[in-house]
């Protein structure tokens, strides 16, 4: 089994999570800058990707 076939759910979850994290920063965000996750687009995107990977791991057979 190749790595891509084995880890495609986690990769897809990471990409979708990153898009969701960036979208949350762009459309909701934190205007004061005091929010640790949503005030920085880089951190928000990484956090979203991490959560997406974790959620994709729960969907395995």
pTM value is: 0.84
H-helix segments, the chain: 3-27, 41-57
What b/e readout covers 24-51, taking b as 16+ CB neighbours within 10 angstroms? bbeeeeeeeeeeeebebeeebbbbbbeb
- Give pLDDT tens digits for 22-46: 999 999 888 787 888 888 899 999 9
User: What residue spans define the domains of the chain?
Assistant: 14-24+38-61
- Give pLDDT tens digits for 11-22: 999 999 999 999
């Amino acid at each position: 089994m190749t790595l891509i076939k084995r880890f495609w759910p986690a990769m897809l979850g990471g990409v979708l999570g990153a898009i969701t994290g960036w979208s949350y920063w762009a459309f909701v965000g934190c205007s004061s800058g005091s929010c640790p996750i949503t005030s920085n687009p880089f951190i928000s995107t990484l956090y979203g990707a991490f959560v997406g990977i974790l959620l994709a791991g729960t969907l395995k057979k």
